[in-house]
Structure 1
């Protein structure tokens, strides 16, 4: 506890010397002199304004030192997202960052270093960065969908084919009667028509229609 208020009270109200104030408060004469000098420099007089407490007075006499920000910090999440775009590199994103921030921009090596530090602090999982147009992940989702024939009232279970673009997570889904090879191929045709193009890779799961031999590690 600094006891600034008590020091000022004894100085200005009681008129004690710095030595006597120091003994009364258990402080050194140097500390007492410092408090009085700081109060004088700040134009603080006795009695103190109503509502002034120790914490407020301390903040006034000893303001927190603020260190000016030397570098403009990039938006690392945005960088991470943009790296998913085909052809986008850290070098390109750094050049855009320098153009925006000029002298406050980090050097390229530091830019990359801090991005990797940020990435390492994210949730611990196997992170994958997919380029645009590179992969479509394909599978049937677990639950089937009940479909009722309006004319007969018969209910059948339909399978749900799902495809997801690796970079954007843009999703295509449709229902088919089975997971047979003909339905599988037909779903691919409609999926590619929906996306309006063909990716570099089609990545299926271990379903029977997609693989010749199921394997845990190399489907």
Structure 2
């Protein structure tokens, strides 16, 4: 979400939040503002002594805004993963997969590559698994699927933090990526993610490889006949081969 100039009504609402001690997270949720915008207006309100006492009339507040609100700070280099180092470190501690971290950063304005995020993540956590080197594949031949914990996100229906997982499908030849965050590991969700990925790419690969997966849904693919049957039916329907890679033990 980019930093924006607020309307007078929004500013009065923000001032009420600040004066009553609302947290940045609560303000973000209620007013759909990013942290930079909140910080900018908080500093301005403090400099104008607006966090205590009576609020000025709307006309006076508008005049103060026009004369004293500082210009926006220059935008950061959003192509640099280093800009998001603290957030990457925080998500790594929560054991969030790198592909999911990359997607979370994109939602915050990151414009760089997955590789840059992965390199920084490896530097921050040397124990992170190395990427698997695969033989060259032809266009449309193979897609690799990963599914892992993605941290906690706000459920828009309840406004509360909730565990999420990231479904990631990568086309082996082009390295194009589809990412979808979900609330559960049910087989219905798993199959829906495949369908959404195929629609996103505009086609179906010849082979789907399950990459180093340890989550409940993938264990079920190995051990639960009903889940196996559902996934095989999906493969037959769309016409792709299943090529699961068991995690080394």
TM-score, normalization: structure 1? 0.37
| Larger relative helix fraction | 2
Higher Cα Rg: structure 1 or 2?
1
